[in-house]
Structure 1
Amino acid sequence: MNKKWVFIATGLLCLTPWVTSPIALILGFALSTSGMVPKEFAVEKWTKKLLAYSIVGLGFGIHLQEALQVTGDGLGLIVTSIFFTLAMGMLLAKLFNFDKETSYLVSAGTAICGGSAIAAVAPAIRAKDQSIGLALATVFVLNSIALFVFPVIGHALNLDQNTFGMWAAIAIHDTSSVVGAASAYGEEALKVATTLKLSRALWIIPVALISTFIFRSGSRKISIPYFIFFYCAAILFSDLLPQFDAVYNVIFSIAKQLMIVCLFLIGSAISVEKIRTAGAKPMILGVILWVMVSVGSLLWLLYL
């Protein structure tokens, strides 16, 4: 069997209930490391599309009142964490003489939503391809670690579903890893994490605009994640027409399974070479910011 069919068969396996989020990521990484990912497959392109469709589908499983409550409860934490992370990133870059452009992209990815934020902010500051690649590699590595580590910490600290969902939404970079970690923790954690994470992702727009002025770039091109608005529409639709609740449950279940396939695709885009390319400085900055956000947000949720 050639690598094309091995890749397809493994992806289809991720649609079964036997493959969990962490296992899907490992399977993807294993194929990538062994050179079994076909070059003709546009993995990153398919990942973005499938992720968007999956998130919209998850919207059908979230009730409007729950969404409003979660967003309201977490608004202060969202705003504080975003601007604290960006400020600390710029400060640390200056103190340790890190590359300003790469450091800012890593900070933006940590502050908002990983690769999506980096992709949105990059044209606004006219970032070089090398800086974008280093920032993305850093975020990918930390995302992969978060998917495994956060549920373990959550259970060790005996966090309830709501608290874990909010913590994952704030402290994990990419939406896919947030959903993966939260789904491994529980159904309620998944709903809370998805809602709050997408509320946080909306801050891509103002942050990209602010970034344009910080870097004095003439560019005004901003990549807006439109699927967030469709996600909101799905919540409204299911709330206005509750008689189709059985259909919404099916859509929600399919979306959860597609999210596992997304994690398989993300894993297949990670390689040892990419991890090495990330280098020490971006990774050091990424880890410091990630620890600050993770610890700070958890203390906020537990004691404030």
Structure 2
Amino acid sequence: MKIKRVHLVGIALVLIVSLVAQFLSRYLPQLGAESLAMIIGIILGNTIFANARYAAGVKWSEKYPIEIGIALLGSTLTFKTLSKLGLNGIAFIIINMILVITIVFVLGKYLFKVDDNSTMLMGAGNAVCGSSAIAAVAPVIKAKDDDRRTAVATVSLTGMLLLLTLPTLSHFFFGNNDLLRGALVGGTVQSVGQVVGTAALINSNVVTFATLFKLLRVIMLVFVVLLFAYLAKRRDAKDLATTEEKAKVTILPWYIIVFAILLVINSLATLPTPVHQVSHTISTFFGIVNLAAIGLNLKWTVIKKSGVKFLSFGFLVGATQVILAIALIKIFF
């Protein structure tokens, strides 16, 4: 995690892109700072700033700040969130997440024929919280950097489509019922920022409900990481040649452990409001930094390699996720 001189120019570039995206999001709230950061990053990383001198710092920015952001996110959450949603709300989110992950695996394996790691990254990104979930799952399943970047780009683009369509769809299916509209937005849109941005296009009450539903999905991040770590360990054990290698134990990343500890502490003894505010601000900004760095690192060749197939995979998952959520909301509410 140590910053070296070779990292400085790349880190400075990522910070500038992140700040510009944050500024532009005031005028383009429909897109949000995270999506803007990734779009600007992709354009600049493949044109003006394609030089290798930025690579080390951009790669550093892609990996470490988001880990701190995920860890701090735990201090902004509490198990009391569950009680605010009621048993129906909790059941809706948990069953929806299970079905989304299952459908991602089925589509990935049988229809789109993508590898296991890409499938797990897509499952985490869509079921939990976009790029943060992908960043949390990637190291425990030993995913390649290109696979992770492609998954983040696909999930983020899907989130942008949902942002533009859900306000109209939520009104069509649920009228002016803010709770149900919040359930649809909070139960489907990928990143926290995109959830707030989508809900804000409807009204402030929907923002409140959507955020609650979304936070429950974020709380489930620990369990999703544990599940995929277990699945990856079982898969890898079949390929390992030596007894010594088989004896190695996969340990959860430090930031997932800290996330869980802070979540428990905040649930048992509520942390001071300034701690929540600072943690939320840092976590949000590091999420923007992560997408700026991913955009700068995501080259046209990688996008072309993933091609129409992977984008189709992502968009079909997004559409299925919305259909599932609408059906489950009708059942539980």
Common fold: TM-score over 0.5 = yes
Asked if the contact 1:205/1:222 (under 8 Å) is kept, the reply is no
The equivalent residue for 2:275 is 247
- Normalising by structure 2, we get a TM-score of 0.68
Q: TM-score, normalised by structure 1?
A: 0.73
- Write the letter of the residue equivalent to 1:121: I
2:115 aligned counterpart, secondary structure: helix
CA distance in 1, matches of 2:99, 2:211: 23
Q: Does 1:224 align with 2:237?
A: no
| 1:204 equivalenced with 2:222 (yes/no) | no
Counterpart-to-counterpart distance in 2, 1:136 and 1:243: 33
Residue equivalent to 1:24:
37
Quick one: structure 1 residues 233 and 250, their matched pair in 2 at CA, closer, same or farther if it must change by over 3 Å? Answer: same
RMSD: 3.4
Aligned pairs, how many? Answer: 279
- Call closer, same or farther: CA 1:68–1:289 in 2, change over 3 Å: same
Please give the residue correspondences for 1:137-148 in structure 2 after superposition, counting only pairs within 5 Å.
Answer: 138-148=150-160
1:255, distance to aligned residue in structure 2 (A): 2.5
Verify the 8 A CA contact 1:140 1:270 in the aligned structure 2. no
Contact 1:167/1:297, CA 8 A, preserved across alignment = yes
- Secondary structure (helix, strand or coil) at the match of 2:220 reads helix
Determine if contact 1:146/1:181 at 8 Å carries over to the other structure: no
AA aligned to 2:166 is G
> How far is the alpha carbon of 1:302 from its aligned partner?
4.3
Q: In 2 relative to 1, CA 36–57 (structure 1 residues): closer, same or farther, beyond 3 Å?
A: same
Q: What is the identity, as a one-letter code, of the residue corresponding to 1:139?
A: A
TM-superposed CA distance for 1:145, in Å, is 0.9
Q: In 2 relative to 1, CA 211–138 (structure 1 residues): closer, same or farther, beyond 3 Å?
A: same
After superposition, what is the alpha-carbon deviation per residue over 1:49-81, rounded to whole angstroms, capped at 9, x for unaligned? 211222333333323310576694322222233
Measure the CA separation in 2 of the matches of 1:7 and 1:243: 31
Match of 1:238 among 266, 273, 298: 266
| 1:61 counterpart = 2:61 | no
Aligned-partner residue type, residue 223 of structure 2: L
Contact 2:42 2:298 in 1 (8 A): yes
Closer, same or farther in 2 for the Cα pair 1:250/1:200, shift >3 Å?
Answer: closer
How far apart, CA to CA, are the structure 2 residues paired with 1:157 and 1:48? 36
Measured in 2, the distance between the counterparts of 1:154 and 1:72 equals 21
Instruction: Give the Cα–Cα distance (whole angstroms) in 1 for the partners of residues 148 and 124 of structure 2.
Output: 13
Equivalent in the alignment of 1:179: 192
Other structure's SS at 2:54 match: coil
Query: Identity, % of aligned pairs?
Result: 13
User: What corresponds to 2:61 in structure 1?
Assistant: 46
Secondary structure of the residue aligned to 2:49 is coil
Structure 1 contact 59–252 (Cα < 8 Å) conserved? no
SS of match in other structure, 1:60: helix
Give the partner amino acid of 1:20: A
> Is the contact made by 2:14 and 2:292 (CA closer than 8 Å) also made in structure 1?
no
CA distances 1:177-232 after superposition (whole Å, capped 9, x unpaired): x1231232355334532441351453233334334545733356646344233223
8 Å contact from structure 1 (residues 32, 268) kept in 2 = yes
What residue is the counterpart of 1:104 in the other structure? 116
CA distance in 2, matches of 1:122, 1:55: 18
